[in-house]
Structure 1
């Protein structure tokens, strides 16, 4: 059995679906990224991540950068742990309402041109491929991994705060939830 830590990105400079498609971190988010790195580096040997993986989006890459630097490793980019894909023809202005509707239901009820249940399973499968790793991802993707691990069909299985660290054990290629990260009432949108 091995462990993987999944970290929600730090506080972004703008909200998802806002004016900027790929915002980086604001000043608080940069501090949160350093704090997450310090927390992970303080873990005992054997629990401390050895690799760093990130969603391709800037807010995750910026959150992951201090950890990769502290470990002296290359940051691996994996789009499978990225943000939930919105329907292809959806205007950016409609994304926040679409996501709010998705949060209120189950994976199989999300309207779009994708099988979102399969997407959630794909996120969990991707995370399970990274033992001894810190994976930097997003609110919805983290919910996907937790939901698959505990058999929860609701999209919003919990509300991970910015830079909260959720730990999973990997057993026989499957995620086993060890501990949910810190929850908060942080704005997702």
Structure 2
């Protein structure tokens, strides 16, 4: 059995006004705290992977320092692609689609007009997870985690639960089968 730990990034400086915000002061503290927690469960051999976005990289760095390991960037665990470049309109789109099912999101006019293949985005995440060969700590995003949990639970919801910033969702992988060991701590939160 392989242990997979999905760590949602710490609180970002600006959740809605930037495509790639770093962590705010609270997020930096969260990343240091979660690094200590992760170091208490990390058993060699293990890998550390991060989304290419700053908030995930900055959340991973303290754990890398403690474990004396480097992380690799993994593009397949980046946040959901936005069909809209304008940040203000992107916020409106996100707020509109988060309560939907995946079928409803795919039928959304702005989503369809964008030409983005959200099913491919979701499939690539699962395909990537199933390819892992050892325990892995994955620093990623709200909707990536939700997409994975919805897949495991065979749910069509875009948002299955509300993983808090710097929360850890623990999965197992055995014989190409993903199972939930423990969902991360939940909070009322916005994507940031």
TM-score by length of 2: 0.89
Task: Tell me by how many angstroms 1:118 deviates.
Answer: 3.0
How many pairs align?
A: 184
Give the aligned partner of residue 141 of structure 1: 144
Given the alignment, which residue of 104, 128, 131 partners 2:130? 128
Please list, as runs of the form range in 1=range in 2, the aligned pairs for 1:13-92 lying within 5 A after superposition.
13-16=13-16, 18=17, 20-43=18-41, 45=43, 50-87=46-83, 90-92=85-87
Superposition misfits of 4+ residues, deviation over 4 angstroms = none
SS state at 2:65 partner: helix
TM-score by length of 1: 0.90
Considering only aligned residues, what root-mean-square deviation do their CA atoms show, in Å?
1.7
Task: Tell me by how many angstroms 1:21 deviates.
Answer: 2.0
Distance in 1 of aligned mates of 2:52 and 2:138: 11
Task: Tell me by how many angstroms 1:44 deviates.
Answer: 6.6
Comparing 32-41 with 4-13, greater Cα deviation is found at: 32-41
- 8 A Cα contact 1:144 1:155, kept in partner: yes
Distance in 1 of aligned mates of 2:130 and 2:139: 14
Structure 1 residues 91 and 44, CA, compared in 2 at 3 Å: closer, same or farther? closer
Q: Which runs of 5+ in 2 are unaligned?
A: none
- 8 A Cα contact 1:54 1:136, kept in partner: yes
Give the aligned partner of residue 88 of structure 2: 93
Task: Tell me by how many angstroms 1:45 deviates.
Answer: 3.7
Q: Deviations over 1:153-187 (max 9, x none)?
A: 10000000000000110122232111100000122
Give the aligned partner of residue 172 of structure 1: 175
